[in-house]
Structure 1
Amino acid sequence: MPSTPGTPDAGTRNRFAAEAGARTIRLGDLAITYVPDGAVELKPRAWFPGTTDAFWAERPEYLNAAGNLVASIGGLLVEHGDRALLIDAGVGPLAWPDAPDRPIGALRGGALPASLAGLGRDPAAIEAVAITHLHVDHTGWLAPAAGGPSPLARAEVLVSASEWEHRALSDTDPAVLDGFAARVRTTADGEEIFPGVRVRTTAGHTAGHTVYEIASGGRRLLAFGDALHSPVQVDHPEISAVVDHDPELSADVRRSLVAELADPDTIGFGVHFGDVQFGRVVPGTPGWLPEDR
């Protein structure tokens, strides 16, 4: 039986709990590509403390065989001709197994430089890395790698002024923050940092969390970082993650973003959204609809 128009089919539903591969969309004169670095499993009840076993039993498509959410980790490459901006820098060459006392399960990173090479982009030629926030899974490749310099060592690092001011709240090693501090340029709300890319400071997940609004060709994309961790929050923006700095404020941000994503000319990008990262919200239709379904 065919799926109801506007709703994910069975193949799409299987992607909610799968790790994302590289994928490119065009937005006017911009090429926008997800660049994989790895993935992490999130324990649903621990990651979203406001949920119940019954809640997840009704939504099995979001969970893998181990009963966990699958969160992709990587960056978003924005290309304008020969110029390139990277939004977020993955987790870096890290890996750790599951531990019972953590809301985060097994994690694996390290693929971002090879992913960039596969796209024909030399990391050393990327002019800037724009950070949504200073958590370790977004700053990883800004640190030295294998005793040598970061592959992104030539890039300017763009961070919202409020996020940088509150960097002591970050879970990134202070030595790593100090290591790229000389390359940091703080940004202001509404500032254009690259052709078609503007800063939107959206405190909640962290004190200076940033959404990047990308517009070209009459359409826009909202790269919303960790304002939403999972597509399940599209229908339930009231659900905050255990790591949200201000759960109530982060819920307000999600409600506003979901309303904006219902605009027919607006696409969203959720870096941790499994294999359905590019998508949209359709009024009157539940859930998150992948842009390439």
Structure 2
Amino acid sequence: MANSALDQADRLRPVEIRSLQLGGTRATADRLRRPAEIRSLQLGGTRVTYVPDGDVRLRPRAMFPDTTHDVWAGRPEYLDASGHLVASIGALLVERGDRALLIDAGFGPQTLPAAPTGPRGVIRGGALLENLATLGRRPEEIEAIAFTHLHPDHTGWARHPAPGGARPPFAHADYLVSEPEWSRTGSPAGQDLAEEVAGMAHRVRPVVDGQEIFPGVRVRISAGHTAGHAEYVIASGGQRLIAFGDALHSPVQVEHPAWSSSFDHDPVGAAHHRRRLLAELAEPGTIAFGNHFADVVFGSVRPDVGGPAWHPLDV
């Protein structure tokens, strides 16, 4: 698409997107207990789509160490039949004209049983390529993958070969990693991480805070979950979407920003950032994307009784 056409598309009025009351209906409450489906929305000339890869089941008290049994007994809408939090795993497809970017790359074609201790239950991936095909996108059309951080549930298809192949399906693409996140792979503390992502190194292009990596998409460093964790701000059509990665893992943290997860590198710093982030997400014209937010990945933060609350979008 020519630049003039893109500019014209970017001036289109934002699509009115309805929000749902969290837990307000049986259908909405059910979405908190299942992995996310393909969901899309249009921001001016930019289309963003959640592309599922799999999911992970999480033990809630181990995931959020500051919680108690009584807390979760009072919030049953967040737990599946086995008492686990359901967290989606996938990627955000950003399309503008013929160009396409992925934010994160799922877990890849693998399933792991529940860990004997700690927060992680069964984790599985493998659906990303099939869901991209459903959306009419081939892996070779993705020009870059922008990572929020380098945990394995975000780097999967960037490291694992495609079924029947010898190389990852996105081996042609640039791998965009925040400079501090990539730098830590060279530190003694990042030894295990360096070994895990060693096969990605020749594709990695470090990016810095504020850098535009795709039309209308800028990176910002938001350390807390990891030392170099990144968020991506997508601006188009008079709206913006903030893909906040693992700054939050569950909508329940919108109500309780002090609850840091057991996966956070710096729990105190992560909680401090969450409070600032939630204030920003409550600003007009702001949509949020939570990669792990069950089947409520797109939403907004609005005042509610007792404080801010997550309002999933009806998309």
- The percent identity for this pair of structures is 57
Partner residue, 1:166: 184
Partner residue, 1:33: 49
Aligned pairs, how many?
289
How far has the Cα of 1:190 moved from its partner? 0.6
2: distance between equivalents of 1:178 and 1:99? 24
Which segment drifts farther, 61-70 or 142-151? 142-151
Q: After the TM superposition, which segments of 4 or more aligned residues of structure 1 sit over 4 Å from their partners?
A: 168-173
Counterpart of 1:86 (choices 85, 93, 102) is 102
How far has the Cα of 1:125 moved from its partner? 1.5
Does 1:228 pair with 2:248?
yes
How far has the Cα of 1:96 moved from its partner? 1.5
Partner residue, 1:252: 272
Return the TM-score normalized by structure 1: 0.94
RMSD, aligned α-carbons = 1.7
Partner residue, 2:15: none
Unaligned runs of 5+ in 2: 1-18
Report the 3-state secondary structure (helix = DSSP H, G, I; strand = E; otherwise coil) of the residue aligned with 1:35: strand
Partner residue, 1:113: 129
How far has the Cα of 1:98 moved from its partner? 2.0
Report the 3-state secondary structure (helix = DSSP H, G, I; strand = E; otherwise coil) of the residue aligned with 1:139: helix
Partner residue, 2:65: 49
Report the 3-state secondary structure (helix = DSSP H, G, I; strand = E; otherwise coil) of the residue aligned with 2:302: coil
2: distance between equivalents of 1:154 and 1:237? 39
Relative to structure 1, is the Cα distance of residues 250 and 77 closer, same or farther in structure 2, using a 3 angstrom cutoff? Answer: same
Return the TM-score normalized by structure 2: 0.88
How far has the Cα of 1:170 moved from its partner? 6.0
Relative to structure 1, is the Cα distance of residues 172 and 263 closer, same or farther in structure 2, using a 3 angstrom cutoff? Answer: farther
Relative to structure 1, is the Cα distance of residues 172 and 115 closer, same or farther in structure 2, using a 3 angstrom cutoff? Answer: farther
CA shift digits 1:158-216 (9 cap, x unpaired): 00000001136569764442211111111110111001100010000000000100000
Which segment drifts farther, 271-280 or 162-171? 162-171
CA shift digits 1:227-248 (9 cap, x unpaired): 0000000010000000100000
One-letter amino acid of the structure 1 residue matched with residue 216 of structure 2: G
Unaligned runs of 5+ in 1: none
Tell whether the 8 Å contact from 2:21 to 2:28 is kept in structure 1 after alignment: no
Tell whether the 8 Å contact from 1:6 to 1:282 is kept in structure 2 after alignment: no
Relative to structure 1, is the Cα distance of residues 190 and 31 closer, same or farther in structure 2, using a 3 angstrom cutoff? Answer: same
CA shift digits 1:125-179 (9 cap, x unpaired): 2000000000000001111325610001111000000000113656976444221
One-letter amino acid of the structure 1 residue matched with residue 21 of structure 2: T
Counterpart of 2:208 (choices 184, 188, 194) is 188
Residue correspondence of structure 1 range 147-166 to structure 2 within 5 A: 148-166=166-184
Does 1:136 pair with 2:152?
yes
How far has the Cα of 1:283 moved from its partner? 2.4
Report the 3-state secondary structure (helix = DSSP H, G, I; strand = E; otherwise coil) of the residue aligned with 2:274: helix
CA shift digits 1:81-106 (9 cap, x unpaired): 00000000001011022233231001
Relative to structure 1, is the Cα distance of residues 13 and 170 closer, same or farther in structure 2, using a 3 angstrom cutoff? Answer: farther
1: distance between equivalents of 2:190 and 2:259? 22
